[in-house]
A = this chain, B = another copy of it.
Amino acid sequence: MRRTIIGVFGAGERASEADVANGRLLGELIAREGWVVLTGGRDAGVMRATADGAKSVEGSLTIGVLPHRDTVPPPSIDIAIVTDLGSGRNNVNVLTADVCVACGASSAGTLSEIALAVKAGKPLVVVGAAGEETFLSRIGRVEFAGSPAEAIVLIRRLLEAG
């Protein structure tokens, strides 16, 4: 039976400590629900933390959608999807996820995924927005969560509505 996939997006090397901590907890909580965790696949920042968090849960499954052939994912990625699409892979991330979650909204890559998710009409939750709420609400439907636990409640609701 087709597995539910939750995409968690966030910055790499320049991610804030708060976003990384949110990513790690999100990965863990999503895995506990039995959902598959999908990330942008790089071994840095929110991407690594989310996969690490998920793999702390027994029976979890993690997918990393790699931007390039030579991208080395963290050991916490079970399934590496190799695209060689560069940032073009961001649209694959968004379309593959049943619900998209962004940790922070101020990195360019993450913002592109937020925008592509809205464009594609995908359910979208932003965790840890820091003043971007007004701006993002103008472009389309975006839910905001103050914490990973709140995000899980929203994801569950969005999946049921789906």
Chain A positions within 8 Å of B, measured between CB atoms, are 1-3, 5, 36, 61, 63, 65, 69, 73, 75, 77-88, 90-92, 95-96, 106-109, 111-112, 114-116, 118-120, 131-132, 135, 138-140
Contacts and interface: CB of A to CB of B under 8 A. Distances in A.
Given A91-B84, A115-B112, A79 B139 contact: no
A96 B81 contact: yes
B106 A139 contact: yes
A16 to B, nearest CB: 12
A82 B95 contact: yes
Contact of A115 (B1, B80, B85, B111): B111
Nearest to A92: B83
Given A96-B80, A108-B140, A87 B69 contact: no
Contacts of A3: 78-79
A77 to B, nearest CB: 6
B108 A139 contact: yes
Given A83-B92, A88-B85, A92-B81, A112 B108 contact: no
A89 to B, nearest CB: 8
A65 to B, nearest CB: 8
Given A95-B69, A111-B111, A84 B88 contact: yes
Contacts of A91: 84-88, 90
